[in-house]
Structure 1
Amino acid sequence: MSDALSAFWLLVVSYSPELWVFGVCLVLGGCVGILAGLLGIGGGLLVVPALVWLLPHAGIHGDMAMHIALATSLASIVLTSGASARNHYRLGNVDLGVVRALAPGVVVGGLGGSVVAELVPSHVLPRIFAVIVLVLALQMMLSMRVTSNRPLPGSSRVFGAGSMIGMVSSLAGIGGGSLTVPYLSWHGVEMRRAIGCASMAGALIAVAGMTGFIAAGVGEENLPRLSLGYVYLPAWLGVISTSMYATRFGAAWVSQLPTLVLKKIFAVFLLFVCVKMFMG
């Protein structure tokens, strides 16, 4: 039975790698949506390493796989973060003044991250991703939440912080909520509003980063079929087709499952991903 199944998958991959990637990403998107709703994380932490593993199996050149994974992850975050931001705005969880203060920096940083990713050698980029994920995994494992009553600093310092958040997020293919929420909380923004503002900022980061990766990929040789710059459309369609729907299940299970324990389990998984990325 297993031999027949393997033969079937080999036939599908050889006949239509796009169809194979789309089918696998449908499953991936379901996992991403459940984890996003359950743990409040962005899907990039799961989408990027999954695509880095998946794309070479579909015949996509290994040196290009990381760029495509980052760009496709950001493109999917545009919709998921946008939907989350809309819901938070309807619930009154978005402080537009805070978002306006952050917006210039995160947009510039998001674009800058895509430029840096294009300049960095392909074999170094996975290790940069691994370092970023290592920090986020340790933060998740320790469940660090910092609070303070200090106000947001001046516009130049907020621009600098937003630029750093946007660049790091774009380099990791994530929406940046793991960075934005602690920053806003440290500066006295109530947690519920910090999460809402981070969702809107994450959508801006994703749009900027995705735009940069699309522009960088225009004219690039050896891109797979059905690509928009570095965004691989079959993978993108597969992820978003199920992730936006599956989010509701994760949200419904929040009160029934030990979320703190699940976060720590997911953090251990991220540590495993870091090791694999460092080892190439």
Structure 2
Amino acid sequence: MLSSSEIATIHAAVRTAGDQFLLDFRRLPVPQTMAELQARLADIEARCMAALQAPLTAAFPTTPWLAADDFGLSAEAATLPAQYWLCDAMDGAIQYVQQLPGWTINLVLMHQAEPVFAAIYDPLAQELFWAQAGAGAFVNKTPLRPSTKREPGVMVAVFEHTHGLDEDVALRQRVSQGLATLLGTYGVVRNYGPHGLQLAYIGAGRLDVFLQVGRDLENWLPGLLIGREAGADVLTATGQPWQWAADSLLVTALDLSATFPLIQLPA
């Protein structure tokens, strides 16, 4: 387990990385070309990684870094270091450059193919969601607890989809089936944007169901640990316990999947 001083160092680094972007938020023009967009995204990633790596490399000198883009959807646990940082420089960067809320700094410490510490920081709300394996989940200093709703009509479900839907007809059909199931089961269905924050919101009881069909491991891991440590159920879309090779993710308030119909999708 990390010490209290190590946790404080991580918290400070994540907050510093996120708060620097408040100065430019809604002050820079929205990109109008692909070249402008790519330049802005590259700048965001560089600034974020610099702010995180300087203090955390000093505090954890033997722990390497993997960027989310380098991690890859096909990464196998056996091919990765025993321990490493995985960073999504800004989850929801498109929202940021479009001058919309819903962007966070996500960081997870992996050990033996399991997330052991995660932080998701929302600078606009000044909310830091974090968890340590076996020690619970928190927003700032407040413990997280999932929703206790049991009426589908008052539940809020959210969905995400991975890239490649234009090229994979079978995946597009599975995503459509999952969305149709949500729409037919829950009172409100939305897509909020950043993966990690939506998963943290499940842990906080602000959302009730998260579904993504299609593998998106690097985007799941920080929020997955926070949701699990808060007491949420972390499953696949067909109701099986989630594991590394899973190509879908269903996170719900505790026992919700046992109370209501599961998302049934063909293999």
Same fold by TM-score, threshold 0.5 exceeded? no
Greater RCO (CA < 8 Å, at least 6 residues apart): 1
TM-score with structure 2 setting the length: 0.27
TM-score with structure 1 setting the length: 0.26
User: Which one has a larger percent helix, Structure 1 or Structure 2?
Assistant: 1
